[in-house]
Amino acid sequence: PNRYLSSLPTTVFTVMSQLAFKHDAINLGQGFPDTEGPADIIAVAAEALKDNRNQYAPLTGLPELREAVAASNQRFYGLEIDPATEVVVTSGATEALAACLMAVVEAGDEVVLIEPLYDTYLPMLKLIGAVPKCVRLQPPHWDLPEKELRAAFGPKTKAMILNSPMNPAGKVFSRAELDLIAELVRDHDAYVVCDEVYEHLTFHVKHIPLMTLPDMRERCMRIGSAGKSFSLTGWKVGYVTASAALASVIAKAHQVMVFATAPNLQRAVAHGLNKDDEYYQGLSADLELRRDLLRNGLNRLGFETLPADGSYFIVADITGHAQGRTDVEFAKWLVEQAGVATIPVSAFYDPGGPAAPQNLIRFAFCKKPEILEEALCRLEKAL
């Protein structure tokens, strides 16, 4: 079998969820909400199942979903998108990421990445044969180092992956940082895979798609996920917005990997995307309360927390409590002794790169307030 895949460890999210189950722990590791998404969206999916919506959908997605994606781009970001040629519906943002990378990157091409990074990026690039060039954000403020970013771009750069709002750092890239990225992308004639699955989960900080900056419209592939925007992570419905020239190639990658995504879910996601502004405001306001609850509790327990302006996640510095343990050891101890599962942040760094920080763990706060309270109580008892 393929040597790279054979040696690839099982994802840390599955490992930690299994440990959480084994120790009957509260799972603040894997990022999924512990409540269902909106009942009206689920009802549309259920209706569609009964309404003869059970054969292959069109390759690039149901027209009603492509139209809803285009309308959402217009409503939130003022982007003019042609639903017929500039939207591709995929089976989750994960498939969208693979399809976008396959669409523009070939063996030997360099791709710029920002660490800490989501765990599918590197394996996807390795399977394509691309060469990752990682730049590290600097804790404790998750600053983007300009010199290192400039140095990561070169004549072989083909693309960059930009995740904003970011998992696991909770960082939302500022306009000034995006301006710098846009300048480098333009100067190196590169593409950008914009992983914006947490686009609607920001806390009093505006999410700016890189695609809205000058000269970026034709270079960016903007990825969204119904899983995150509607708290339905198991549905695995994603969507890509890109120029017609790129979207037609992304559609070819989708054609050979998946071909078409479940039609009933697509119809329901179209309904979801058309929800009013109040829904989207409620989603982020509700999550912000949970972030504050967990952050304040962690601070009270003596953990310093890093800024988290978006996503499901907040990172805490374990230095005061770790007693020499690494993040991996501490996370294992927490799940076994405190009954709280988290994710060690070193898992979000290139294993082939320089040593990753070992003093940070990630908490998911997309859980019920009473569950977060209970997790804090358990931590207090164990520490």
Closest CA to 360 of 332, 326, 324, 336: 326
Q: Is 13 in the site for ligand GLN (CB under 6 A)?
A: yes
Closest CA to 159 of 183, 136, 186, 193: 193
Distance CA 189, CA 80 (A): 23
Q: Is 11 in the site for ligand GLN (CB under 6 A)?
A: yes
Closer Cβ to ligand PMP, 227 or 357, answer by number: 227
Q: Is 261 in the site for ligand GLN (CB under 6 A)?
A: no
Closest CA to 230 of 194, 264, 273: 273
Distance CA 369, CA 45 (A): 28
Question: Which residue is nearest to ligand PMP, using beta carbons?
Answer: 92
At 147, phi and psi to the nearest 5? -60, -45
Q: Is 94 in the site for ligand PMP (CB under 6 A)?
A: yes
Q: Is 236 in the site for ligand PMP (CB under 6 A)?
A: yes
Tell the smallest beta-carbon distance from residue 369 to ligand GLN (Å).
20
Q: 52-64 burial, b for 16+ CB within 10 Å, e for fewer?
A: ebeeebeebbbeb
Among 109, 115, 177, 195, binds ligand PMP (CB under 6 A): 195
Distance CA 231, CA 39 (A): 11
Tokens of 165: 């709002």
Distance CA 112, CA 104 (A): 13
Question: Which residue is nearest to ligand GLN, using beta carbons?
Answer: 31
How distant, in Å, are the alpha carbons of 43, 134, 164, 247 from that of 222?
28, 21, 11, 11
Taking residues 355 to 374 in sequence order and writing x for each that binds ligand GLN by CB under 6 A, - otherwise, the string is --------------------
Q: Which strand ranges, in their side-by-side order, compose the sheet holding 343-344? A: 304-305, 313-317, 360-364, 343-344
Q: Is 31 in the site for ligand GLN (CB under 6 A)?
A: yes
Closer Cβ to ligand PMP, 238 or 263, answer by number: 238
225 binds, among ligand GLN, ligand PMP, none (CB under 5 to 8 A by kind): ligand PMP
With CB under 6 A as the rule, give the number of residues binding ligand GLN.
5
Among 48, 172, 197, 253, binds ligand PMP (CB under 6 A): 197
Distance of CA 302 to the CA centre of its chain: 28
Distance CA 151, CA 190 (A): 15
Among 26, 28, 30, 98, binds ligand GLN (CB under 6 A): 30
Among 164, 233, 264, 346, binds ligand PMP (CB under 6 A): 233
Tell the smallest beta-carbon distance from residue 30 to ligand PMP (Å).
9
27 binds, among ligand PMP, ligand GLN, none (CB under 5 to 8 A by kind): none
Q: Is 163 in the site for ligand PMP (CB under 6 A)?
A: yes
Among 83, 116, 238, 263, binds ligand PMP (CB under 6 A): 238
Among 73, 163, 167, 264, binds ligand GLN (CB under 6 A): 167
Distance CA 340, CA 260 (A): 38
With CB under 6 A as the rule, give the number of residues binding ligand PMP.
13
Distance CA 113, CA 100 (A): 15
**Which residues is 310 bridged to in the sheet?**
202
Q: Is 231 in the site for ligand GLN (CB under 6 A)?
A: no
Taking residues 108 to 147 in sequence order and writing x for each that binds ligand PMP by CB under 6 A, - otherwise, the string is ----------x-----------------------------
242 in Cβ contact with 222 (< 8 Å): yes
93 binds, among ligand PMP, ligand GLN, none (CB under 5 to 8 A by kind): ligand PMP
Residues near ligand PMP (CB under 6 A) are 92-94, 118, 163, 167, 195, 197, 225, 227, 233, 236, 238
Residues near ligand GLN (CB under 6 A) are 11, 13, 30-31, 167
